[in-house]
């Protein structure tokens, strides 16, 4: 029997850097009046979103791919500005910049708008990672610049042709591939690698396609009040003006579940606890989720996440 590789993937010196990094994040949040909370890693439900594949646990529910639902339930009873710094889980995501178990910082501010959270995200990255303050750009502008097509009004057929022209279209795309499918594909494989090489950049005004728990723009409903932050071609964070209407949330969740079932998948059930909290009175709020391992790795010019993890997925 072959002896397992028991040794850690991070060095003792790296673990010291990681500990100091975590302390710096907590210090930043404390100084800004954001309370650290601790919600369950194992929950009865999981997000009804195609981009979040959850680990199911026999007779127990799901390992949380994000603390979003639990944090919003706390917001609904008046918790105020809150954050969670801890492990989350996403099935099938393993690679250079992905680990199925990773550390996420997620925080919410009641009564805040998305512009406030863009500014705070930029300030956090600058303070704890020593990076330049993030630039701001519109999704439409960077997509048109790097992919050569206006993403807001393009049809699925036009986006498929764009993906084909850039050599990123799958050999057998789904028969019902939507705008959201092609936009995500082109953004991740064509546009994203070009972003943030002069310093972090926050991309705002994403298309509303596929947005589930995000408010749409009050002037142009084709846009979601959402942003993502990139550094050196790697996605670091995403944030949004959070949807507070439970009826709209249920309708969107049902649409996501139907799409997954049509694709032969077995999605988790709708999170009724979240919808009940929203109905009881989720306040207007904005929130951000940030990949802590990625930020640390980029700050230290590492080649992959494994260098900043005590044990990566292969050595768990």
pLDDT tens profile 105-115:
999 999 999 99
User: According to the model, what pLDDT value does residue 3 have?
Assistant: 65
- Encode pLDDT of 195-230 as tens digits: 999 999 999 999 999 889 999 999 999 999 999 999
Contacts 24+ apart (CB under 8 A), 176-182: 176/259, 176/262, 176/263, 178/209, 178/210, 178/259, 179/154, 179/155, 179/207, 179/209, 180/50, 180/207, 180/209, 180/210, 181/156, 182/156
> For residue 182, what is the enclosing H or E element?
helix 179-186
Tell me how crowded residue 117 is: count the other CB atoms within 10 A of its CB. Answer: 23
123 CB-near residues (< 8 Å, 6+ apart): 133
What per-residue confidence (pLDDT) applies to 316?
87
Distance CA 159, CA 302 (A): 34
* Token pair listed for 227: 């942003």
Out of 12-16, 223-227, 269-273, least confident range? 269-273
Q: Confidence band (pLDDT; 50, 70, 90) for 173?
A: confident
Q: Regarding the domain with residue range 12-131+229-315, which homologous superfamily does it belong to in the CATH classification? A: Bira Bifunctional Protein; Domain 2 (3.30.930.10)
Pick from 1-5, 63-67, 275-279: least confident: 1-5
Mean pLDDT confidence for 65-72: 96
Are 62 and 56 spatial neighbours (Cβ–Cβ below 8 Å)?
yes
Q: Where are the domains of the chain?
A: 12-131+229-315
What rounded mean pLDDT belongs to the chain?
94
pLDDT (average), residues 122-148: 97
Model pTM? 0.94
């Amino acid at each position: 029997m072959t002896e397992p590789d028991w040794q850690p993937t991070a060095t003792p010196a790296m673990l010291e850097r990681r500990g100091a990094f975590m302390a710096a994040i907590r210090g930043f949040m404390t100084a800004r009046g954001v309370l650290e909370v601790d919600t369950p890693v194992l929950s009865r439900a999981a997000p009804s979103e195609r981009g979040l594949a959850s680990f199911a646990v026999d007779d127990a529910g799901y390992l949380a791919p994000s603390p979003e639902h639990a944090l919003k339930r706390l917001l609904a009873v008046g918790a105020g500005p809150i954050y969670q710094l801890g492990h989350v889980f996403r099935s099938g995501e393993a690679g250079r910049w992905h680990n199925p178990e990773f550390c996420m910082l997620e925080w919410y501010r009641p009564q805040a708008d998305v512009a406030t959270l863009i500014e705070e995200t930029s300030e956090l990255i600058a303070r704890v990672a020593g990076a330049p303050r993030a630039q701001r750009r519109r999704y439409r502008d960077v997509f048109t610049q790097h992919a050569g097509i206006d993403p807001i009004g393009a049809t699925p057929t036009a986006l498929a042709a764009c993906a084909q022209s850039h050599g990123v279209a799958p050999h057998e795309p789904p028969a019902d591939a939507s705008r959201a499918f092609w936009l995500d594909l082109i953004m991740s494989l064509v546009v994203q690698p070009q972003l943030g090489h002069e310093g972090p950049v926050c991309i705002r005004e994403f298309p509303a396609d596929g947005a589930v728990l995000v408010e749409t723009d009050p002037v142009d409903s084709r846009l979601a009040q959402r942003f993502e932050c990139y550094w050196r071609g790697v996605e670091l964070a995403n944030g949004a003006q959070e949807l507070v209407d439970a009826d709209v949330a249920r309708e969107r969740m049902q649409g996501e579940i139907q799409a997954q079932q049509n694709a032969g998948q077995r999605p988790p059930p709708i999170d009724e606890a979240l919808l009940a909290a929203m109905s009881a009175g989720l306040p207007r709020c904005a929130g951000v989720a940030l990949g802590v391992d990625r930020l640390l790795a980029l700050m230290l010019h590492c080649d992959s996440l494994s260098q900043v993890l005590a044990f990566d997925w292969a050595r768990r």
